[in-house]
Amino acid sequence: MQLQGVIDTAVAEVGQVLLGKDVQIRLALCCLFARGHLLIEDLPGMGKTTLSHALAQVLGLSWKRVQFTSDLLPADILGVSVYDRNDASFSFHPGPIFTQLLLADEINRTTPRTQSALLEAMAEGQVTVEGETRALPDPFFVIATQNPTHQSGTYPLPESQLDRFLMRLELGYPHPQAEREMLQRAQSSVNSGKALVQRIDRTQLDTIRSTIGQVHASDNLLDYLQRLVAYTR
């Protein structure tokens, strides 16, 4: 199957649990393929967690979720060294950041100090804990969700953190047809807790990501992009 067909199949698979959001699913996949990270800002209950978990299943990636709260510490994300009395030495216990797809849920409900724990990981694919640098799995993809900034108990993300995200999007409310189907499923318990099928394996994922680097951009397109960047500075 050609790469386009593989991607279409993956979108359709995720679309079984995230109804009527094919555009957002494709954007999330594009973000992963381009080696970026994704920020989703929306109200609770729009399917942000569902999207991240479904992508992990369809791509065959390990998945972990961190619920960001005001009392969360950097060590809760990165990991910590624990003293072992039997060996009289410290052993490192990796945190949830050591995964391929990390859901940073409600990232703007924690303090800037804890938000900064993700900076090195998202930019360089590694973390430095207690003076030692440790590589993260490849691929490493962060999907962060945040509540609208006008809600109470939120900390606006600093520019350095926003710069780590390639895309920022909203899921929005489902269209009437999708909403009706969700109501019918809830009544009949259809697809309740359904496990999705992996549609893209590691070899195909690596091929897609390497192919992106071979895409030719014309001089006119590059000129247009430069003008956009200049106007938004």
More confident residue, 22 or 186: 22
Instruction: Scan for tokens 């006008």, then name that residue.
Output: 150
Domains and CATH numbers, the chain: 3-232 (3.40.50.300)
Distance CA 28, CA 31 (A): 5
User: What CA–CA distance (Å, rounded) separates 109 from 36?
Assistant: 22
Q: Which of 40, 58, 60, 56 is nearest to 48 (CA)?
A: 40
* Spatial contact of 99 and 139, defined as CB atoms under 8 Å apart: no
Pairing of strands 63-67, 101-105: parallel
Q: How far from each other are the two terminal CA atoms of the chain, in whole angstroms?
A: 42
Predicted TM-score (pTM) of this structure: 0.87
Q: Give the pLDDT confidence of 28-39 residue by residue, as tens digits.
A: 999 999 999 999
**Amino acid identity of 192?**
S
Q: pLDDT tens-digit profile of 41-91?
A: 888 778 888 999 999 999 999 999 999 988 899 999 999 888 778 777 778
Instruction: Give the count of alpha carbons within 13 A of 114, CB side only.
Output: 24
